[in-house]
Amino acid sequence: MGPVRDYDDTLKKLLHDPEQAAHYLRAALEEEDPHALALAIQDVLHAVRPEPVEDAETEALCRALTGLKRAGVSVDFLAGR
């Protein structure tokens, strides 16, 4: 059996790459579950920001993205370049 890796460290390293973070967020959006999206946003924020992310920030961003999606607004920053 190979060495055991810390899941959080591995996820942070993966999500630090903007392209991988976009794929991760896109997959969460496809779930159409606000809680899954909130967790994904929080994971990405933790990967790219050294200081702790407040849950209120994550929830506010999640509500904003969900509202945009319901309004039919494309979330272009998640589209690949």
DSSP SS3 for 63 = helix
Task: State the Cα–Cα distance between residues 48 and 29, nearest whole angstrom.
Answer: 19
For 31-71, the pLDDT digits (tens) are 888 888 888 888 888 888 767 667 777 777 777 777 767 76
What local confidence, expressed as pLDDT, does residue 1 receive?
57
pLDDT at position 74: 61
pLDDT score, position 76: 56
**59 neighbors 24 (Cβ within 8 angstroms):** no
Q: What local confidence, expressed as pLDDT, does residue 79 receive?
A: 47
Q: Binning pLDDT at 50, 70 and 90, where does residue 4 land?
A: low
